[in-house]
């Protein structure tokens, strides 16, 4: 059983001075990487730059302190950008704060209820579809700043932004394009020259210097936003029942995204350092981190795969590194935040272009389009399109619904019921290599064996219509259930109907080889006692023997077969 205990408390038992130094170095490096990303992702989310740092500071510290991973680094990520921007546009910062708190509570409940493993079962087609959709949305959202365009309106929807870019192309700013291209070149080439210093930091420093020195007419963060270096202060949002109702879908989406992305990041980190994370504790930590982030003016946070990997590569091995990363960002906020006003908006756009490209998983998307069944492709494309055209909430809701319906159909397709009478009367090709094949058994003359294959559930309910009791010569019906791994209440109801029909026609109903889950369900409902516990046989041989004895008793009323049946 997985412990619900923070990793920090476990690793401190063997903590050393040498590891502390490594954690500090890794934490400082990750903070430098997180600085431009936190600002860029805050702007992409429709909030002010410092709120991205508040998120990385508060949520990053809380999640590292309580988390279930040794090296997880949490903060704002691109996955939340579109949904956060939508909430802010509709409900303002107060609405975002409430939605984030609600998501935090959901995450804590998921962790306490041990849902950590269940989040792994969200279909890959859905996560791939909405990930590419988010990437495309982020890319389109940054075209305006990259080209230095001037909009007459403030569009919110992705397609509206794209149309506004096309209509405003005449306002193209060549200086902005030049700074954007310069930033992109640095972001692409610098990692090939130096892995230690993040390319985004170099792009920010170079582009800011060029714009400042040459007095270029390019929008900067300072020209569009009021920059503050104030420490985050606690802000309790006003909560109303109506607001909570309106934000439920958004809160669930944030919680699912935070859970999936953080656990995926943990898995990647485990592979890098040879550790094993505690998924349920991580969910609790993510929930607490999001609640505190919201209360201190931040936005939703989750595990950031790139920053987590950087932490592991630079020697971080305990949650201390993540906590150091938050402290360093706090110092940067107080000392250097005013200089953030010099950062050109085209550079922010270029950084987000690279974020969008790196997160897009377009190769995985293309691979799924080539190799997947049509039903999976339908879910993949629908999730992608709905993310771009509408929003992430709609995409996830409809994507999961479609995947569930298609799964039910597939399970129903593999469930079938085969009817067997006296094997001497029928022939046909079959796999006779199975020693338990019914064709190798002798079925009594007035007995029918129905062999059920696959799960018995509501999606396969119509299969029970194949059980026919119209033949007046039938005296015994055997339901062979060796290939039924599970059943639901709908299937139990259908079995109850079959039993009542048999009882009405004076037909004995026998069950053969009922597996654990179906048998437990029957016992819990008292169905086994209704049918008679003696009519449940451990295998088909015992069921056929019993059917033979029952038929013998019916043919010869005076024969003493009752004791033989009971003894069997």
pLDDT given for residue 443 in this prediction: 87
214 belongs to a structural domain: yes
What is the rounded CA–CA span in Å between residue 515 and residue 481?
7
301 belongs to a structural domain: yes
What is the rounded CA–CA span in Å between residue 285 and residue 108?
7
| DSSP H helices in 392-515 | 392-414, 489-504
Residues 399 and 442 grouped into a single domain: no
Asked if 2 contacts 116 with a C-beta cutoff of 8 angstroms, the reply is yes
What is the rounded CA–CA span in Å between residue 274 and residue 200?
29
7 belongs to a structural domain: no
Residues 334 and 399 grouped into a single domain: yes
- The segments of the chain whose pLDDT lies below 50 read 422-429, 558-562
pLDDT given for residue 210 in this prediction: 97
Of 384, 404, 424, the residue at which a domain comes to its end is 404
- Both tokens of 451, joined, read 């062999």
Residues 334 and 446 grouped into a single domain: no
What is the rounded CA–CA span in Å between residue 394 and residue 79?
15
Residues 314 and 264 grouped into a single domain: yes
What is the rounded CA–CA span in Å between residue 77 and residue 298?
12
Of 356, 379, 404, the residue at which a domain comes to its end is 404
pLDDT given for residue 438 in this prediction: 65
pLDDT given for residue 94 in this prediction: 94
pLDDT given for residue 410 in this prediction: 84
pLDDT given for residue 428 in this prediction: 45
What is the rounded CA–CA span in Å between residue 283 and residue 280?
5
6 belongs to a structural domain: no
Largest CA distance in the chain: 113
410 belongs to a structural domain: no
Residues 347 and 495 grouped into a single domain: no
3 belongs to a structural domain: no
pLDDT given for residue 470 in this prediction: 73
For residue 529, give the CATH number of its domain: 3.30.750.24
- Nearest-CA neighbor of 457 among 479, 489, 480? 489
Question: Is the entire prediction scored with pTM above 0.75?
Answer: yes
Percentages (nearest 5) of helix, strand, coil residues in the chain: 70, 5, 25
Residues 355 and 442 grouped into a single domain: no
CA distances (Å), origin 3, targets 8, 278, 458:
13, 7, 36
- Nearest-CA neighbor of 482 among 444, 537, 410, 440? 537
Q: How many domains does the chain divide into?
A: 2
DSSP letters along 362-377, please? HHHHHHHHHHS-HHHH
- Both tokens of 45, joined, read 């989310």
All residues at 6 or more sequence positions from 366 whose CB lies less than 8 Å from its CB, including other chains: none
Residues 101 and 68 grouped into a single domain: yes
What is the rounded CA–CA span in Å between residue 522 and residue 536?
11
- Give helix 124-147 / helix 345-359 axis angle, nearest 10°: 160
Give the range of the structural domain holding residue 436, as residue numbers without chain letter.
416-567
Residues 367 and 499 grouped into a single domain: no
pLDDT tens readout for residues 352-372: 999 999 999 899 999 999 999
Residues 183 and 279 grouped into a single domain: yes
pLDDT tens readout for residues 525-548: 999 999 999 999 999 999 999 999
Residues 390 and 449 grouped into a single domain: no
321 belongs to a structural domain: yes
- Both tokens of 470, joined, read 């119209």
Residues 224 and 96 grouped into a single domain: yes
What is the rounded CA–CA span in Å between residue 35 and residue 335?
13
2 belongs to a structural domain: no
Residues 364 and 423 grouped into a single domain: no
pLDDT given for residue 563 in this prediction: 52
- Nearest-CA neighbor of 130 among 378, 382, 325? 382
- Both tokens of 360, joined, read 């897009």
Of 345, 376, 404, the residue at which a domain comes to its end is 404
Asked if 264 contacts 67 with a C-beta cutoff of 8 angstroms, the reply is no
């Amino acid at each position: 059983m997985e412990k619900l205990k923070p990793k920090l408390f476990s690793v401190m038992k063997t903590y050393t001075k040498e590891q502390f130094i490594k954690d500090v170095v890794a934490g400082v490096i990750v903070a430098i990487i997180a600085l431009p990303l936190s600002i860029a992702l805050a702007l992409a989310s429709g909030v002010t730059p410092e709120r991205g740092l508040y998120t990385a500071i508060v949520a990053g510290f809380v999640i590292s302190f309580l988390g279930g991973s040794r090296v997880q680094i949490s903060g704002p990520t691109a996955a939340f950008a579109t949904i956060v921007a939508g909430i802010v546009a509709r409900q303002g910062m107060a609405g975002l704060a409430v939605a984030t708190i609600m998501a935090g509570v959901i995450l804590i409940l998921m962790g306490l209820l041990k849902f950590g493993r269940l989040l792994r079962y969200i279909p890959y087609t859905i996560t791939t579809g909405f990930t590419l959709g988010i990437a495309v949305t982020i890319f389109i959202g940054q075209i305006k700043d990259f080209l230095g365009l001037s909009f007459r309106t403030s569009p919110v929807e992705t397609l509206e932004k794209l149309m506004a870019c096309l209509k405003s192309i005449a306002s193209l700013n060549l200086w902005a394009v030049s700074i954007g291209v310069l930033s992109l070149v640095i972001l692409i080439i610098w990692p090939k020259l130096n892995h230690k210093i993040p390319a985004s930091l170099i792009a920010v420093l170079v582009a800011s210097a060029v714009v400042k020195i040459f007095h270029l007419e390019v929008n900067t963060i300072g020209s569009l936003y009021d920059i503050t270096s104030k420490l985050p202060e606690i802000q309790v949002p006003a909560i109303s029942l109506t607001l909570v109702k309106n934000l439920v879908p958004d809160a669930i989406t944030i919680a699912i995204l935070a859970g999936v992305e953080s656990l995926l990041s943990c898995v990647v980190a485990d592979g890098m350092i040879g550790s094993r994370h505690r998924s349920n504790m991580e969910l609790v930590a993510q929930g607490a981190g999001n609640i505190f982030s919201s209360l201190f003016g931040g936005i939703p946070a989750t595990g950031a795969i790139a920053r987590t990997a950087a932490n592991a590569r630079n020697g971080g091995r305990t949650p201390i590194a993540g906590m150091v990363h938050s402290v360093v960002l706090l110092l940067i906020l107080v000392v250097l935040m005013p200089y953030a006003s010099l950062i050109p908006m085209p550079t922010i756009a270029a950084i987000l272009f690279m974020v969008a490209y790196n997160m897009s998983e377009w190769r995985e998307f293309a691979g799924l389009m080539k190799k997947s069944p049509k039903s999976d492709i339908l879910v993949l494309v629908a999730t992608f399109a709905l993310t771009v055209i509408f929003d992430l909430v709609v995409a996830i809701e409809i994507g999961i619904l479609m995947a569930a319906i298609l799964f039910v159909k597939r399970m129903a397709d593999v469930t079938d019921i085969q009817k067997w009478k006296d094997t001497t009367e029928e022939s046909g090709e079959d796999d006779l290599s199975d020693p338990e094949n019914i064709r190798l058994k002798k079925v009594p003359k007035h007995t029918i064996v129905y062999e059920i294959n696959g799960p018995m559930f509501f999606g396969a309910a119509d299969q029970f219509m194949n059980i026919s009791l119209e033949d007046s010569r039938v005296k015994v019906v055997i339901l062979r259930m060796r290939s039924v791994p599970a059943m639901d209440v709908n299937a139990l109801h259908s079995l109850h109907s079959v039993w009542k029909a048999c009882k009405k026609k004076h037909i004995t109903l026998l069950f053969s080889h009922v597996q654990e889950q179906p048998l437990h369900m029957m016992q819990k409902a008292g169905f086994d006692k209704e049918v008679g516990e003696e009519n449940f046989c451990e295998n088909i041989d015992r069921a056929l023997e019993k059917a033979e004895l029952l038929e013998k008793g019916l043919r010869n009323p005076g024969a003493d077969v009752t004791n033989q049946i009971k003894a069997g």
